[in-house]
Amino acid sequence: MPWFPDFANAAELARIQIRALGQADPVARYLAALNEGNVHDLEQVWPGEVVVFDPRAGEIRGHRQLRRFVRQNRAWLAERRARIDTVASTCAAGRAVVEMLAHLSGNDGEMAWPLAVVAECRDDRSVVFRTYCSQWPVVGRRHVRTPILGPGVVDLGDAVARFQTALARGDAEAAVATFSSNGYYCEPIGPVFTHRGHRELRAFFDTCFSAGGGLDLQHCTLTDDGTRCALEYNCTRWGRYTLPPQAGIVVHERGPDGRLVAVRVYDDIEPPVQYGP
Instruction: Identify the band that residue 9 occupies on the pLDDT scale cut at 50, 70 and 90.
Output: very low
Boundaries of every domain in the chain: 7-139, 158-267
11-15, 77-81, 175-179, 190-194: lowest mean pLDDT where?
11-15
Look up the CATH number of domain 7-139. 3.10.450.50
Burial 172-211 (b: 16+ CB within 10 A, else e): beebbbbbbeebbbbbbbbeebebbebeebbebbebbbeb
Question: What is the crossing angle of helices 26-36 and 63-79, to 10°?
Answer: 70
CA torsion sign, 227 to 184 to 260 to 264?
negative
Domains 7-139 and 158-267 share a fold: yes
CATH number of 158-267: 3.10.450.50
User: How far, CA to CA in Å, does 54 sit from each of 5, 129, 211, 276?
Assistant: 43, 8, 30, 24
Query: What pLDDT is attached to residue 13?
Result: 44
Q: Please, are residues 269 and 142 in contact by the beta-carbon 8 Å criterion?
A: yes
Q: Where are the alpha helices (DSSP H) in 84-188?
A: 136-139, 158-169, 172-177
List, in sequence order, the alpha helices (H) in 37-107.
Answer: 40-45, 63-79
Confidence tier at 34 by pLDDT (50, 70, 90): confident
